[in-house]
Each structure stands twice: as C-alpha cells, then as structure tokens.
C-alpha cells in the first residue's frame, strides 16, 4: 500500500523517570532491533506528557532519563533520529491542521480517553482529548510508514490512518500521506507485574516488588525474583495449562524474551523443574542484561551536556524532514 514511500519507522515514548523491564522488553528492545533494518525516528513526546499536569523540574528529569535509558539500551543516536518532540515545532503545527481534519465522532470513540479522564470528564484537559490528533501529526509529519505500537495504542494508530486518508481525499492528493502500518511485536509485548500476572508491569503500582527497574542492583533483582508470585506446581510444557497460571507464564515469557528464545524452547528446557531452580536461572540472565544497562543509565545521566547535545542534533535532523513536509502540507491546505 505504501510502495510510493521509503520505509520509515516512527515511534514516540512519553518521558518518564525510572524505566522498568516492561518498557525495555515491551518497546525499547524492539526499537533497537528495528534500527538495524530500517531508518527510524524515535521521539520523547513531551507535548503528550503535559496533557496531564507535570511538575516542570520532574518533566525535565524524565526527558533526560528516558534519553539515557534509550542510549543505554542500545539505541544509536548516530544512526537513528532521537529527539524531544517540543523542539520541533512542526508537531504542534500539524496537530492543529489535524484538529480540523479529525472528527469529534472519531475522538469520542477513543477508549483511552475514557479510561484516563475517568468519571470527571469535565475536568480533563482539552489536550488529553485531542491527543490522538497530535500522535497522528507525529507520525505523518515525517510520512512514516511503520509504527511499532503496543495494544493500548492500536486504536490511536487506526485514527491516524483515518486522518491520513481523509486529508488525502479532502485535498485530492491521493498519495500524499502514507497510510502507516502497525508493527506488532511477534513475541510477547506485555510484561506483567511480578505480584499479579493479570496486571501490566507499571511504574504506578505501589509495591516496588511488582517490577524490575532498569537501575535495580543485583541484590534487588535477585530478591524481587525470589519473591515473585508463582505456584507450587512444576513447570510443564503444556501451554494450555500455563494460560491458567499467569504468574508462571509471565516469568517464563520474561526469560524467553531476555534470552531471545521462543517460549516453546524455554518450556522444553525448563520442563519438570520447580520454580526455585528456574528463578535462579531467571535472575542470573536478568542481572547479566539489566545491570550493565542500569550502570550506563546512571553514568549518562551525570553528563547533561552530552544528553543536550544528542537532543539538539536529533532535533536538527528531524527538522530537515519536518520542514520540507510541512511546507508541502501548508501549500496543499492553501496557506501563503
Ligand atoms: N501515545 C503513545 C503512548 O502513550 C506515545 C506516542 C506519541 C506515539 N506519539 C506517537 C507512539 C507516535 C507511536 C507513534 O505510548
């Protein structure tokens, strides 16, 4: 469908401090793989972040920490474009144009807004409501063709496709914007809480024992895995059985993902073992992968001028593409 366009991956991540294993295995590790095959643009989406109030100091720190985590996990700022969204003004400009293309009825269907606004919709920011239009602008400002997304963003990407189509139709430019395709991780993309296998691993869960943070020490990782909820049955290779044991399945999935093996292979390897043995294996592989990343994050975080430089360079590269596309877009819309 997008054969007129060069393959280009775009993804955005909200700035947050203290990234965890779920952020790594669910998103960043995949970004690192993608940059080996395709041109990629990764944006730390600070404009999205302020749809709910952010303490300015914390926001700044979160942007730095997200960048440090990206680099420590293996994103290459020389190869891919890495920048913070607010430093390229085209995002906000195109978002306005899309506010006028997108329909109220479309936004009213967005389930994430309903969840995030909760029962007090009247008090939600207008930005939170039109956030999917901004996300469409992020992607289409670069005419990106592929977007790695988790389950929770699929509906927003659908909306982006609707906006691209409507713009192309309204202005009679049938191939102006590509219709971006989702890239869904084939392996598992959801790391669950270590305390409750039905809940996503999250920074907002109260207990720190529910997650592995990228900056955890060896001791912390070992303790958290030891305490992780499981059951007293042995590991079986029967996937149906495991589906009824979400905590067990989660740990086996984490092991597979960290060691780059399929779940089937892990199950064969671990079949018949009890969880205390498996947990030792799991904390060993986690420590070997996560602790070097954590150390690197801490190091990078100390060098703010390096981080600022990376963001500035990234923004400059992003701007070249954005400015060219935005000029065409303005022309199409009829601006002088
Ligand atoms: N909305 C995404 C999230 O909350 C972040 C995001 C913003 C994004 N712009 C994007 C993701 C463009 C993919 C493409 O996770």
* All structural domains of the chain with their residue ranges: 8-189+303-333, 208-298
Q: Which of 4, 71, 120, 130 is nearest to 307 (CA)?
A: 71
Per-residue pLDDT reduced to its tens digit, 272-308: 999 999 999 999 999 999 999 999 999 999 999 999 9
Per-residue pLDDT reduced to its tens digit, 306-324: 999 999 999 999 999 999 9
Q: At what angle do helices 126-140 and 90-99 cross, to 10 degrees?
A: 110
The mean per-residue pLDDT over the stretch 163-167 comes to 98
232: pLDDT strictly greater than 70: yes
The mean per-residue pLDDT over the stretch 101-128 comes to 95
203 is catalytic: yes
CA–centroid distance, 254 to ligand 1, in Å, is: 24
Q: Which of 219, 187, 204 is nearest to 286 (CA)?
A: 219
Work out which ligand 1 atom sits closest to the CA atom of 45.
7
pTM: 0.95
Q: Which runs of consecutive H residues, i.e. helices, occur in 141-245?
A: 154-170, 218-227, 239-243
Work out which ligand 1 atom sits closest to the CA atom of 148.
13
Pocket test for ligand 1, best of 8, 13, 145 (most atoms within 8 A of CB): 13
CA–centroid distance, 127 to ligand 1, in Å, is: 14
Percent of the chain with pLDDT over 70: 99
Instruction: Give the span between the Cα atoms of 227 and 279, in whole angstroms.
Output: 10
Kindly report which listed range (73-82, 145-154, 174-183, 234-243) carries the lowest average pLDDT score: 234-243
265 is catalytic: no
Question: Phi, psi at residue 213, to the nearest 5°?
Answer: -85, 150
Can you say whether residue 152 is alpha, beta or left, with left for phi > 0 and alpha for psi between -120 and 50 degrees? Answer: alpha
The mean per-residue pLDDT over the stretch 24-48 comes to 97
Atom 15 in ligand 1: residue holding the nearest Cα? 13
Query: Exactly one of 60, 116, 273, 330 is catalytic; which is it?
Result: 116
Q: Are 146 and 180 in contact, with CB atoms under 8 Å apart?
A: yes
Helix (H, G, I), strand (E, B) or coil at 265: helix
Query: Exactly one of 166, 203, 229, 273 is catalytic; which is it?
Result: 203
Instruction: Give the span between the Cα atoms of 19 and 213, in whole angstroms.
Output: 6
Q: Which fold has domain 208-298?
A: Tyrosyl-Transfer RNA Synthetase (1.10.240)
Q: Provide the pLDDT for residue 188.
A: 67
Percent of the chain with pLDDT over 90: 91
CA–centroid distance, 135 to ligand 1, in Å, is: 6
12: pLDDT strictly greater than 80: yes
CA–centroid distance, 153 to ligand 1, in Å, is: 7
Instruction: Give the span between the Cα atoms of 318 and 332, in whole angstroms.
Output: 21
Instruction: Give the span between the Cα atoms of 145 and 180, in whole angstroms.
Output: 4
Judge residue 137's burial from the number of C-beta atoms within 10 Å of its C-beta, 0-12 exposed, 13-18 middle, 19 or more buried.
Answer: buried
295-321 in b/e burial notation, b at 16+ Cβ within 10 A?
Answer: ebbeebbeeeeebeebbeebbebbbeb
Q: Provide the pLDDT for residue 150.
A: 86
Q: Are 281 and 287 in contact, with CB atoms under 8 Å apart?
A: no
pLDDT band at 172 (very low <50, low <70, confident <90, very high): very high
Residues 6+ apart with CB under 8 A from 63: 15, 44, 46, 84, 311
The Cα angle at residue 296 between residues 147 and 188, in degrees rounded to 5: 35
116 is catalytic: yes
Query: Residues lining ligand 1, judged by CB closer than 6 Å?
Result: 10-12, 14, 45, 48, 135, 138-139, 147, 149, 153, 156
187: pLDDT strictly greater than 80: no
The mean per-residue pLDDT over the stretch 209-219 comes to 98
Q: Which fold has domain 8-189+303-333?
A: Rossmann fold (3.40.50)
């Amino acid at each position: 469908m997008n054969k007129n366009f060069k393959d280009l991956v775009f993804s955005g991540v909200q700035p947050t401090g203290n990234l965890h294993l779920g952020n790594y295995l669910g998103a960043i590790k995949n970004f690192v793989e993608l940059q080996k095959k395709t041109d990629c643009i990764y944006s730390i989406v600070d404009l999205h972040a302020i749809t709910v109030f952010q303490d300015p100091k914390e926001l700044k720190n979160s942007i730095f920490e997200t960048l440090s985590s990206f680099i420590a996990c293996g994103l290459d700022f020389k190869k891919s474009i890495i920048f913070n969204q607010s430093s390229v003004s085209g995002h906000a400009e195109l978002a306005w144009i899309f506010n006028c293309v997108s329909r109220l009825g479309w936004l009213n269907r967005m389930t994430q807004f309903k969840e995030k606004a909760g029962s007090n919709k009247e008090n939600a920011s207008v930005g939170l409501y039109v956030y999917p239009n901004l996300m469409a602008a992020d992607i289409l400002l670069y005419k990106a063709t592929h977007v790695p997304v988790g389950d929770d963003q699929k509906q927003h990407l659908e909306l982006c496709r609707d906006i691209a189509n409507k713009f192309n139709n309204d202005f009679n430019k049938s191939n102006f914007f590509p219709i971006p395709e989702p890239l869904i991780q084939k392996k598992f993309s959801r790391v669950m809480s270590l305390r409750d296998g039905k809940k996503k691993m999250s920074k907002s869960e109260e207990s720190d024992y529910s997650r592995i943070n990228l900056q955890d020490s060896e001791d912390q990782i070992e303790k958290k895995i030891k305490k992780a909820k499981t059951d007293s049955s042995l590991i079986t290779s029967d996937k149906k059985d495991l589906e009824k044991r979400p905590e067990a399945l989660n740990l086996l999935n984490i092991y597979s993902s960290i060691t780059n093996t399929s779940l089937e292979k892990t199950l064969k390897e671990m079949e018949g073992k009890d969880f205390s043995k498996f947990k030792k294996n799991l904390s060993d592989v986690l420590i070997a992968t996560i602790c070097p990343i954590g150390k690197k994050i801490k190091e990078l975080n100390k060098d703010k001028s390096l981080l600022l430089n990376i963001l500035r360079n990234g923004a400059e590269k992003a701007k070249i593409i954005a400015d060219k596309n935005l000029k065409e877009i303005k022309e199409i819309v009829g601006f002088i």
